[in-house]
Amino acid sequence: MSKCKEKSIELDKFYTKFLKKEVSKFNIPQIAKALHELEKLNYNYWVTAYLCDAFDPNGDDMLKEEIKKYNLTLSKEEIAAFMRTNWLNYMQEERLAMLKLALNVKQKKLSLGEARKQLEKHAEAYFYIDNSWESTTVLTADNFMKRLEETLITNAEELKEHIKDIETNREKEHKKLQKKYSIPESLMNVFYFFSQLLKLRDLRKGQTLMTNYLYDLFFLRVAEIFSLNFEDLRVILAEEITKDVTAEDIKKKINARKQIIVEAVWNKGIIHYSGKEGIKIYDEINKTFIYKGDIIKGTPAFTGKVKGLIRVIMGEAHFSKFNAGEILVASMTRPEYVPLMKKAIAIITDEGGITSHAAIISRELGIPCIVGTKIATKVLKDGDVVEVNANHGVVRKVM
């Protein structure tokens, strides 16, 4: 964690440096230099921050085995309680600040005008929170003002309850459970380790949102200089923007990769395939996901049984097609998925375990959830009707 923190600080310094610069006036050599520096810093950070992913395939089983050694029977909710700490991620920090601001307005300690002024600093601190792996945006004080107005619909007592929930002393919860089950310190250390993996994942997500904002900022300038469509640059790598690169160089790569691009990572380096060769490789990979059964199995994250319509959401581009009362199917969920999760009657993911984002949020919302199916997004299609038995981690296609 200390090494990861060190690399995180290096990235933070880069952010601070370039957020103060007028990137809109940069030339290609300046953009190339900045992109290459960011690429190096980001790579060095991810090398240290990848630890949490190493536990995705069997972390749940490892945790269960450790608990079993002490002949303890803990519910999923109790295990989840040990995963929560007093530390707040960027989403929780922003939410808490917004709730407190709304409460001050409700209690007439602040006028809306005074709150609006405070939102200027709020926007400086949290402008990036709606960013994702797929796209970035800059939230302004006006955006947050709209959110404040929406929050003000909630009465003061409910606001206090929401604040209390976020500020709950999780360590007291841990000690209470430890006393209840006579849990030894050795097992408490295991819980602590897994809670730190969750913290690392959340820290990494916040770092990634800022990093992606800078990548987009630089590539927007490339698009402007060469009169290219910014979205077309999604298939161009940072390292391919050199001080001597031309518009024609980039256009050739875009045309070759528009249909498909496959990235293969080997010990000797990274190779990219496009065109017919890329399609052939992609088709071969896809064959490994062919599944003809009617039952999909995964890990129960929150119990319950429901029957409903499937909606496969592979990214933000699909968000608008999700309807309230449907079953959300995704490779994995992230903070930007929360509005959809609140409308879903169940959640199914390819990846993750009982400490994953989907598992944690489903428990908070009380929604049946099955994680780690590996194949749900490949097998299930929009409009499929399924029965979700999250008590046993089974999804059965009905029609």
Give the H or E element holding residue 80.
helix 76-83
Which residues contact residue 174 at a Cβ distance below 8 angstroms, ignoring those fewer than 6 apart? 81, 82, 188, 191
200 to each of 86, 87, 327, how far by Cα in Å? 14, 11, 29
Cβ burial, residue 106 (10 Å; 0-12/13-18/19+): middle
For 203-234, how does the pLDDT look when each residue is reduced to its tens digit (9 = 90+)?
A: 998 999 999 999 999 999 999 999 999 999 99
What percent of the chain has a predicted confidence (pLDDT) above 70? 99
What is the rounded distance in angstroms from the CA atom of residue 275 to the CA atom of residue 299?
A: 38
The DSSP bridge partners found for residue 348 are 329, 370
pLDDT of residue 270: 84
Q: Token digits for 257?
A: 């990769």
Q: Quick check: 335 pLDDT over 80?
A: no
pLDDT of residue 359: 87
Contact 346/390 with Cβ under 8 angstroms?
Answer: yes
Residue 15 or 352, more confident: 15
Average pLDDT of every residue of the chain: 92
Burial level of 325, CB count in 10 A (0-12/13-18/19+)?
Answer: exposed
Per CATH, the number for 295-397 is 3.50.30.10
Task: Give the mean pLDDT of 97-102.
Answer: 97
What per-residue confidence (pLDDT) applies to 290? Answer: 67
- Which range, of 12-16, 62-66, 96-100, 354-358, averages the lowest pLDDT? 354-358
**Are 155 and 103 spatial neighbours (Cβ–Cβ below 8 Å)?**
no
- pLDDT tens digits for range 151-183: 999 999 999 999 999 999 999 999 999 999 999
Asked if the model's pLDDT at residue 77 lies above 70, the reply is yes
For residue 39, the model assigns a pLDDT of: 96
pLDDT of 355 over the 90 cut: no
Residue 289 has pLDDT above 70, yes or no: no
Q: Give, in degrees to the nearest 5, the angle at Cα 338 between 336 and 342.
A: 155
Spans of all domains in the chain: 90-168, 243-287, 295-397
- Which of 343, 325, 334, 339 is CA-nearest to residue 385? 325
* 3-class secondary-structure state, position 388: strand
Q: Is the distance from CB of 34 to CB of 18 less than 8 angstroms?
A: yes
Output the pTM of the full model.
Answer: 0.83
